[in-house]
Structure 1
Amino acid sequence: MSWGSTARRAGVAALVAVLLVPSAPAGAARLELDSATIPHLVRELDAGRLTSVDLTRAYLRRIDTVDRAVRSVLAVDPTALRQAAESDRRRRDGRARGPLDGIPLLLKDNIDTRGLATTAGSRALRVPPRDDAELVTRLRAAGAVVLGKTNLSEWSNFRSTRSISGWSAVGGQTHNPHVLDRSPCGSSSGSGAAVAASLAQVAVGTETDGSIVCPAGVNGIVGLKPTLGVVSADGIVPISSRQDTAGPMARHVVDAAVLMSVLDRRRAPYELTPGALRGARVGVWRWAGHSPEVGRVVASAVEVLRRAGATVVDVELAHQEEIRAAEWPALLSEFRHDVERYLATRPGAPRTLAELIAFNERDPVELSRFGQEVFLLARDAPPITDPGYVERRRTATALAKRSIDEVMTAHDLDVIVSPTNTPAPRTDRAARVTRARSSAPAAVSGYPNATVPAGFVGDLPVGLSFLGGHGEDVRVLRLAAAFEQAAAARRPPRYLPG
C-alpha cells in the first residue's frame, strides 16, 4: 500500500481530526487517552468517574477508526466489553484485583490466547490454540481487559533475509503512526504502533534481538526487554528459548512498570523513585555508524542526564562483531528445535519446519512479498546437540555478558545508555532493519534493556536504551523513568502521509 497518492493523502487528511485527539470515554470528558497513565485511570475508576466499559469502548472506537490508517490490530476480542463489565462489578463490590484490573491491553499475535487465532502472522497457524499462554493467564487473573491481538513481522522477522518489518500474510502491512510510509520496525511492530496511536493503554511484545526496543524506539514509546526468564515464555511462538522474552510496551514508564509487576514471575515490586538519576553513574555507548542527527539526540540526552544529577562517562562495549558472528548460526539451530516443539502443541498446524516450508510453497499469499531463505537455512542447520552449535551459543552468550559486565564493573556504573534506533526508513524491501546496535548485548546476554523516547530526527522518534546487569529490571526502569520525566521528549504521533 502506497501513501504517496493524492487520493490517499486526502483520505488521511480527512482522518486527522480523529487521529490527533484521542477520544475521551463517556463521563470522563477531560481524560486524554494519550497522556493518561494507569495510576490516573485507577484513581478515576475507584472514584466512579470512569468505568472500564467506557474506557474499553473508547479504545475499541479508536481501533475502528484510527487503525484504518495504522493497521496494527489483527483481531479484536469479541468478549472485551464483557471482560470490562466484569471488572466494573468487581470494583463496585470492593474486589478489584489490583492496578491492572479493568485496563485494556493488546497482545502480540505470537502469544497463545484462548479463543483468538495466534498466528505469528502466518496463515499456517489460523486454528486457535486451546489454552492461554502463561503470561495471558497472569494478565486475566489480574483483571486486565484483553482487547485483541496485534500484527507483527511474520514469524518475528525470522522467515526471510529480505522480510519487511510490520508485514505478515495475515495482517498485511502495519504503518508507523508518526509518518505512515515509514517502517514500524519488527517484530513487535503492531504492538508498538498500536500503543503509540492510543489503541490500547499498554501492549505486550516479544523480543529475540531488538523486537521490543526497536518498535518502541521508532514509534516513540517505552519498551522493556526483561531479563531472560523473568517472564514466562510458555505458549509463545518461539525463535529461541535462549533469547526469547515477552515484555511491556507503553506510552509511559509507569505503565510499563505496572504491567511488568504482573508479568514478572518473581513478583518483584516495580516501584519508581523520583530523582533516581541523582548520584547515578551512567555509561554512554554512542557506537559508530549512526547519523549526525542521531548523535545530536544522544548529546541532548546526555545533557538531560547530567542536569538530573547523573555522572556520565563515555564507554565502549567490546566483542560486538564476535557476538553477532556467533549469534546468527546459533539462532538457526535453536529455531528449528524450538518451533517444532511449539508446533506439537497446535493441533491442525504443520508439525515440522519442513511442513511449514511446504505450506508456504503452496499458499497463494505467503511468498508474495519475500521468500523463506531463513526457514531453509534453519531446516539445514546442525541440531542443538552438535558441538559446533554448542560452542557458538556458549561464545555468543559469554561474550555478550562480558561486554556489559566488564564495562559496568570497570566504571562502577548503574546503567549503560545508548541510542535505540536510527530514524525509521521507508517501508520497503530495501530498508528492513532500523534497530541500533545496542539491542544485541542485552538480547544475547539475557540482560534487561529499556527504551524511552529521547528526541526526534525531523518527524521521526529516536529512543534511548538503558542497559543493566542480570536481574536489574527494576533499576533499569527506575532510571528510565527519571530520564523520561527530565527529558519530556515524547510527543503524540501526527499520522503524516510521508
Structure 2
Amino acid sequence: MVYTKLVKPLLNVRPPGLGWPRVTFRAFASIHTGAMNKEDNNCSKRGGVEVDLRMPLCRSVDIEGLSIPQLHKCLESRKFSVYDLTACYLERIRRVNRVLKAVIEVNPDALDIAMMMDREREQRRNHGLLHGIPFLVKDTMGTKDKMQTTAGSSVLVGTVVPEDAHVVSLLRRAGAVLLGHANLSEWASMRSTYYSEGYSSRGGQCRNPYNLAEHPGGSSCGSAVAVASNMCAFSLGTETDGSIMVPADRNGIVGIKPTVGLTCGKGVIPESHSLDSVGTFGRTVLDAAIALDGIVDSPTGARLDIRSFPTAPFVSFVSGKEALRGAQFGLPWKGVWEKVKQKETARKQYQIFGQVIERIRGAGANVIEYTDFPSAEEIIPPGGWDWDYPTKQGHPEQSQFTVVKTEFYNDLKTYLSNLAANPNNIRSLDDVVKYNATHAEKEGGRPGVHPAWPSGQDSFEMSLETGGVMDETYHHALAYIRRKSREEGIDAALSRGDGRQLDGLLVPLQADSGVGCQVAAKAGYPMITIPVGIATGENEIPFGIGIIQTAWREDKLIKYGSAIEDLLALKLKPTFMNIDADNYMYIGAPPES
C-alpha cells in the first residue's frame, strides 16, 4: 500500500502546464546522489551506542553494491565461497539492522545452506546466476523451515506452513541462499486506515537508510531497505497497490511489479487475489530482472488467461542507453504530473524530473506530453492516493477497496485453513480481530491504544463487515476498476488514440502522492521504477521515475528501464542521516530505543 491519512496534505494550485525548461547535461550532473566516502561513513551512534556502518569485506573483497553477475563471477573464480558471502551479509545485518529494522528474522540455517551450495560447486561447474546468492523475502511468504511466517503480527507466531511459497521453492531450487524474512508494514498495510508506515509488532519500526526520520515506504519496506543498505543481493516483495513501487522509489533501488498472475502467489499470505503480485527488488534493473526470471516458471501454473508470454529470459531484455533511440514514451498529465507541479514540497523533484526527461529526449526518444488516461477524473482521487475514495462519495460499486476488503476476508480464510500448525487457533479474520482486541497494547486492536495504529484495526473491521460475500456491488466494483484502468486508462493512453503504441508511460511515484502506480495496481498491469536522484532540501531521500505498460509486457519495462538507468548512470549510497532519530516523521509512531 502507498499512503495513509498520516501523509501531509497537498497544496491545491493550478499551474498552466508542464513548464519544464530545456536543460543541459551539466545541470543534471549537479544533482546530489548521496554518495559518501568510506572514511566519512564508518561509524555513528544511536542512543549512545556505536553503530558500525562499514560493509564487511568478504575475503578481502569489497562487495558493497556488487551486482548479482559480479557476485557470481567472484564465486566462480573462487575469490570467496558461498559460505563467505553469506557470512558477510549476515554480519552486515547484525551491524545495521539494529537501527534500520529491515530484517524481522534471520534464517538459523543460512550458513548450513551456504555450505551445501559450496559442496554443489565442488561437484560440478556452470551454475546459474542465482546459485549461492543470498536473498530475503517479505514476511508474508511461507518458508517451510525454522522461521516464522507472520505478516509481522504476533497472532500468527507459532503457525507452521505446509510448504514453501512457490516463489521461494523456485529460488531454493536455483541454489539461492535464503537469509531470512524482511520486515513490513504489518499485514501488508491492510489492517488500518491510519497507521505508521513500516511498523509491525514483530519487527518494530523499519527506517529509511538515507534519512531515518523519513518513512521507508510500504508495505514491502524491509525488502527494499535491505537491498538498499546491502543486507542482501536481492529480495522479494508483494504488491496490491504500491507496496513494491513506493519502497523501491523511496530507497533508491529498482522494483519490478509484474502483471498479476505472472508470478504465483501460492503460499503467500494474501490480500486480494485480483490485485496481488509477487515482485522483485534489486540495486539495478539487471539484478531485479535476474530475480524475476528466478520466480517465474510456467505462466499457466499461475493464471490461465495469459495471452502472450516472452519466450526469452527477462534478463535478455536488459539494454544500454542506445535502446532509447526511436523509443516513444508518454507523460500522463491530468491527475498525475499536474500533482507534482502543484506540490510545494516537491519543487526540487519536479525540477530533476524535467532534467531527466530532457536527457531521455536527448538520447533519441520521443517523449509526448499530455498522454492522459481518458478516465483520469473517474479513477484518480483528487487529493492523492485513496483506494476507498468512491465509497466516501457514495459509490462503493466503483471502489477498489470494495474488491480488496471482500477478497481479503475469503483469501485469508483459505490461507489459514491450509496451515500445518495453528497454535492460536486462528481460523478466520474474525479470530484475528478478536486476538488484536485482546492484545491491544501489542497489536493495537482498538483505536487510540497503540501509537502505531491510531485508528486501531478499522480496515480489518470493514473487511469483516463484508462477510466475504461477492455480491453485485463487489462484481460491479471489480469490473469498473478494471475497465477504467485498462481499456479506458492505460491501454488508451498507450495507444495515443491513433493506434500507434507507446513504449511506456512515465510517471512519478512519491510527488504525485502515489496515484500513478495506483492506476497500474487497479489494472493489474506491470510497472518498474528506476532511481533518478535525491532532492536536497526536501526530504533528503531518493526518488525515481516509473514506467507503466500493458499486461505481460515486462520485457519492455526491463528494456527501457535499463536503458534509462544506463543513461543516467546514477550511483546512490545510503547516508544514514538522522541515525539517532527515535520517531517517525508522522504523528503517532512509537519512539524506539
Paired residues of 1:87 and 1:96 also in contact (CA < 8 A): no
Identify the residue that residue 368 of structure 2 maps to in structure 1: 313
The one-letter code matched in structure 1 to 2:484 is: L
Bigger radius of gyration, 1 or 2?
A: 2
Inter-partner Cα distance in structure 2 for 1:15 and 1:481: 38
**Counterpart for residue 428 of structure 1:** none
Q: Provide the residue aligned with 1:62 in structure 2.
A: 92
The superposition leaves residues 321-346 of structure 1 with CA deviations (integer Å, 9 ceiling, x where unpaired) of: 53353212221111111111111122
TM-superposition CA deviations, 1:276-314 (whole Å, max 9, x none)? 222110112352223322211221220221122211111
SS at match of 1:136: helix
Q: Is this contact kept in 2: 1:261–1:268, CA < 8 A?
A: no
CA distance in 2: counterparts of 1:321 and 1:12, whole angstroms: 48
Give distance in 2, aligned partners of 1:65 and 1:27: 18
Any residues of structure 2 matched to 1:264-303 within 5 Å, and which?
264-266=296-298, 268-270=312-314, 271=316, 272-274=318-320, 275-286=322-333, 287=336, 288-290=338-340, 291-303=346-358
Q: 2:176 aligns with which of 129, 139, 144?
A: 144
Q: How does 1:326-341 map to 2 (within 5 A)?
A: 326-341=399-414
State yes or no: 1:22 paired with 2:55.
yes
User: Any unmatched runs of 5+ in structure 2?
Assistant: 1-42, 299-310, 341-345, 380-386, 391-398, 445-449, 582-593
Q: Distance in 1 between matches of 2:468 and 2:99?
A: 43
Residues 241 and 275 of structure 2 are in contact (CA less than 8 Å); yes or no, is this contact kept in structure 1? Answer: yes
Counterpart of 2:123 (choices 93, 100, 108) is 93
Q: Which residue number in structure 2 is paired with residue 461 of structure 1? A: 542
Partner of 1:385, secondary structure, is coil
Q: How does 1:408-447 map onto structure 2 within 5 Å?
A: 408-410=494-496, 412-422=501-511, 436-447=514-525
Task: Please give the per-residue CA displacement for 1:444-481, whole angstroms capped at 9, x wherever unaligned.
Answer: 11111000101111221111101111100121011111
Secondary structure of the corresponding residue to residue 319 of structure 2: coil
Write the distance in 1 (CA, Å) between the matches of 2:149 and 2:527: 26
Alpha carbons of 1:463 and 1:412: their partners in 2 closer, same or farther (altered >3 Å)? same
Hey, what's the Cα distance between the residues in 1 that align with 2:122 and 2:64?
A: 23
Contact 2:406 2:470 (8 Å CA) reproduced:
no
* Amino acid across the alignment from 2:215: S
- What is the SS of the residue equivalent to 1:365? helix
Which stretch of the first structure deviates more once superposed, 340-349 or 386-395?
340-349
Query: Percent of aligned positions with the same letter in both sequences?
Result: 33
Give the aligned partner of residue 431 of structure 1. none
How far apart are the structure 1 equivalents of 2:104 and 2:467? 35
Using the size of structure 1 for normalisation, the TM-score is: 0.92
Matched, 1:366 2:447: no
Q: Structure 1 residues 444, 124: closer, same or farther in 2, change over 3 A?
A: same
For the Cα contact (< 8 Å) 1:12–1:69, is it kept in 2?
no
1:163 aligned to 2:191? no
Residue 232 in 1 paired to residue 321 in 2?
Answer: no
Match of 2:102 among 62, 65, 72: 72
Aligned partner of 2:292 in structure 1 is 260
In 2, the alpha carbon distance for the partners of 1:375 and 1:321 equals: 29
**Contact 1:384–1:390, Cα closer than 8 Å, also in 2:** no
1:178 corresponds to: 210
Distance apart, 1:32 and its partner CA: 3.1
Corresponding letter in the other structure for 2:331: V
Query: Matched residue of 2:506: which SS?
Result: strand
1: CA distance, partners of 2:47 / 2:374: 46
In 2, Cα distance between the equivalents of 1:151 and 1:206?
Answer: 12
Structure 1 distance, partners of 2:153, 2:312, is 35
Structure 1: unaligned runs, 5 residues or longer: 1-7, 423-433
Question: Which residue is 1:11 aligned to?
Answer: 46
Q: Distance in 2 between matches of 1:276 and 1:475?
A: 11
Give the Cα–Cα distance (whole angstroms) in 1 for the partners of residues 127 and 292 of structure 2: 15
Matched, 1:389 2:474: yes
Residue matched to 2:12:
none
User: Is 1:404 aligned to residue 514 of structure 2?
Assistant: no
Alpha-carbon distance in 1 for matches of 2:281, 2:469 = 32
Determine the structure 1 residue equivalent to 2:74. Answer: 44
Question: How far 1:181 moved relative to its partner?
Answer: 1.2
Mapped partners of 2:465, 2:253: distance in 1:
38
Cα distance in 1 for residues equivalent to 2:375 and 2:49: 50
Q: What secondary structure sits across from 1:246 in the alignment?
A: strand
Distance 1:456 1:83, change over 3 A: same
What is the distance in 2 between the residues matched to 1:41 and 1:375? 43
- Residue 289 of structure 1 aligns to a residue whose secondary structure is helix
SS in 2 for 1:438: helix
Q: What are the within-5 Å matches in structure 2 for residues 165-244 of structure 1?
A: 165-244=197-276
Tell me how far apart the structure 2 counterparts of residues 378 and 11 of structure 1 sit (CA, whole Å).
Answer: 40
CA distance in 2 between counterparts of 1:240 and 1:193 reads 24
- 8 A Cα contact 2:46 2:99, kept in partner: no
Quick check: 1:379 aligned with 2:464? yes
For residue 378 of structure 2, the aligned residue among 307, 315, 322 is 322
Tell me how far apart the structure 1 counterparts of residues 362 and 130 of structure 2 sit (CA, whole Å).
Answer: 33
